[in-house]
Amino acid sequence: MPYDDSAVFIGKDICFGFGPRPVLKNLTLRLAEGKVVALVGSNGAGKTTLMNLISGFLMPQSGQLLFYGINYAGWSAPRIARMGIARSFQDMRLCSELTAIDHLLLAYHKVRGECLPFAWLHSCWKAENDAHTEDALTTLNALGISSQTARQPLKELSYGQLRMVGFACAIGNAPKLILLDEPTSGVAKAESEKIVEGLLALRSAGATILVIEHDLEIIRKIADETVLLEDGSVLIQGPTESVLDSAKFKSTMFGESYDGNS
Amino acid sequence: MIYLLEILNQLCIYVALLVAMDLILGKTGLLSAMQASIYGTGAYATGILSAHLGISMWITLPISIMLGAVVCSSLALISIRVSDEALVLVTLAFQMIWSDLANNLGSLTGGPMGLRGIPPFRLLGFESDNPIAGLVLSATLACLALLVAAKTDISPLGRAIKAARESELFLSSCGRNAALMKAQAFALAGAIAGAAGSIYAMHVGYISPGSFDVAESIRMITALVLGGLDSLWGPIAGAVLLVGLPEAVRFLGISGSTAANIDQMVYALILIGLVALRPKGLWGRYAIR
């Protein structure tokens, strides 16, 4: 798959396994700029592993990870994040003692007061910090988190609110590629709708997103393309409607005997 | 009066040391068993340079501060890249090696008999071996340590250090290197402990390895957990317990050796009680997990 200008990310022949068990086998994937791509597949197909590889939390055993043509395989996760690839986690991994605003301020990468002795010089970081706090509140308010809730430690927030914070962190720094691992999993319908609204707004703004999602209704609403992963390889990649309506998708996801009426 | 001033002096030194310990245990959530040896490094750096070579305190104090910061952050950076558990083992090993060196490098450190003849801090005609001048110096150190800890806590660095404690994965996904954030907390803790060691050495004029051994590290950890982690009041409360309890026992009219044993038992009982009933300590915001 040659690199072309419209591709934000290209994964070429990615192989990865835990010990002797292969998880991804010569997987090849292309994410076009400004597209929302849904990643689907049965449990254990390798969806989260692929996301961990793209974001640097796992290293591929072989293959290339190209971001705007630069092969970054082997780079550390923080370096990849600074390059412009943001992600949310399926199990959130947030900081229970910090507030939602703290999380968003951490999601903004350029902060001067994180190094001694500049941390003690308010004039070095106060103005930037205040501006980022305003931005953070705007983002959180848009997702239904009130300014008061945004100032509470996360241990006092509900599960749905935590999901919102995780989602806000992934999109907070206007990254070039956003990876979302089941953003609507376990949240109430109203909160799920807020996340879908947020995703649609990001799509309109031209963001490139790879999202793991199980709800087919949501996938049809938000995704331009869908990738079906099975047994560590891409089985089909194409426009969402055609993939979701294909017999291959139905038999993979719902079983060999699926006839479309059950 | 002199007795009271000496007690207050000791209290201020311990406030600074526990603030340093809190930067590690309270802010990063990591357990370092070498804090007494960093305190000792600062004390011996000042002692050796001033007693043997006659170097001025204006040079020995900054050297003690820098040495504390470099030793503390380097050991942390090496070990936390491996694992948090590795840090406990590496710091314990460093503490043991440090005590062995201090006891066996007799020509340099004075060995188990200690190092004598350390000149006091002189400023505007005052000398730090005088109880009042010594107290002013150690109280300044304690206030500066509290100020530095408070300013760090409200800064973006304080936020990033706490995030490294809570979720390294999240911090990495935000483009930050968690080990680097923790290493800065260790550097700051090392600098404060190094300064405390230097000021202690200049005040008492005599230091020996027994004041900086592993038991002292454990006493500091215990006192901080009792006082409370991740708060400014925790180190103060811990220092009051650490300094006040032996004095209180002394006033009960119990003999010295028995009193020392009672100290240990009372610490242990309070620690067990707090861990069971109030894991955050007296004034803490964070409980050991």
Domain ranges of chain B: 2-212
List pLDDT tens digits, range B53-64: 999 989 999 999
Confidence of residue A259 (pLDDT cuts 50, 70, 90): low
pLDDT of A196 > 90? The answer is yes
In a domain, A158, yes or no: yes
Q: Is the peptide bond before A20 cis (omega within 30 degrees of 0)?
A: no
Look up the pTM and report it: 0.89
- Any bridge partners for residue A209, and if so which? A36, A178
- Greater confidence (B272 vs B182) lies with B182
Task: Tell whether A261 is covered by a domain.
Answer: no
What is the percent of chain B with per-residue pLDDT over 90, rounded to a whole number? 68
Question: Within a 10 A sphere around the Cβ of A21, how many other Cβ atoms?
Answer: 7
What are A229-243's pLDDT values in tens digits?
998 999 999 999 999
Does the pLDDT of residue B155 top 90, yes or no?
yes
Does residue B219 surpass a pLDDT of 50?
yes
**Mean pLDDT, residues A154-175:** 91
Alpha-carbon distance of A259 to A248, in angstroms, equals 11
Residue A44 lies in a domain: yes
Suggest the residue from B27, B154, B159 to mutate for an interface test with chain A (most A CBs closer than 10 A). Answer: B159
Q: CATH number for the domain including A50?
A: 3.40.50.300
Whether residue B289 is predicted with pLDDT greater than 70 in this model: the reply is no
| A27 falls within a domain | yes
Q: Quote the tokens at residue B76.
A: 């942390």
Provide the Cα torsion B135, B140, B146, B152; round to 10°: -160
Provide the pLDDT for residue A261.
47
> Can you give the pLDDT at residue A174?
82
Residue identified by tokens 């009982």 is: B269
Mutation target among A106, A118, A130, A167 for the B interface, most CBs of B within 10 A? A106
- What is the count of structural domains for chain A? 1
The model's pLDDT over B107-136, given as tens digits with 9 standing for 90+, comes to: 999 999 999 999 988 877 777 778 888 899
Per-residue pLDDT band at B271 (split at 50, 70, 90):
confident
What is residue B15's predicted lDDT score, i.e. its pLDDT? 97
- SS3 percent helix, strand, coil of chain B, rounded to 5, is 75, 5, 20
What is residue A262's predicted lDDT score, i.e. its pLDDT? Answer: 39
Q: Would you place residue B282 in the very low, low, confident or very high pLDDT band (cuts 50, 70, 90)?
A: confident
- The DSSP bridge pattern shows strands B122-123 and A233-239 to be unpaired
What pLDDT, on a 0 to 100 scale, did the predictor assign at position B288? Answer: 66
Mean pLDDT (chain B, rounded): 90
Query: What domain range is A202 assigned to?
Result: 7-254
- pLDDT at B46 > cutoff 70: yes
> What span, in angstroms and rounded, lies between the C-alpha atoms of B100 and A187?
58
A62 touches chain B (CB under 8 A): no
C-beta atoms of B155 and A94 within 8 A: no
Number of C-beta neighbours around residue B135 at 10 A: 21
Chain B residue at shortest CA distance from A120: B151
The answer to whether position A260 is within a domain reads no
Pick from A100, A97, A84, A92: nearest CA to A132: A100
B268-276 — which CB contacts under 8 Å span 24+ positions? B270/B226, B270/B241, B271/B222, B271/B225, B271/B226, B274/B225, B274/B226, B275/B225
Q: Is residue A262 part of a domain?
A: no
pLDDT above 60 (res A249): yes
Is residue A178's pLDDT more than 60? yes
Classify residue A1: in a domain, yes or no: no
Q: Report the DSSP beta bridge partners of residue B229.
A: B286
Are the beta carbons of A81 and B184 separated by less than 8 Å?
Answer: no
In a domain, A199, yes or no: yes
Instruction: Work out the pLDDT band at A137, boundaries 50, 70, 90.
Output: very high
Indicate yes or no: CB of A97 within 8 angstroms of CB of B187. no
Q: CA-CA distance, B24 to A35, in Å (whole number)?
A: 45
Q: At what angle do helices B233-251 and B256-277 cross, to 10 degrees?
A: 140
Asked whether residue B256 carries a pLDDT value surpassing 70, the answer given is: no
Can you state the angle between helices B35-47 and B57-80, rounded to 10 degrees? Answer: 150
The pLDDT of residue B84 is above 90: no
ipTM: 0.89
Q: What was the pLDDT predicted at A256?
A: 58
**Structure tokens belonging to residue B113:** 């008999």
Lowest mean pLDDT among A199-213, A215-229, B114-128, B231-245: B114-128
Q: Is the pLDDT of residue B279 over 90?
A: no
- CB contacts < 8 A, A to B, total 96
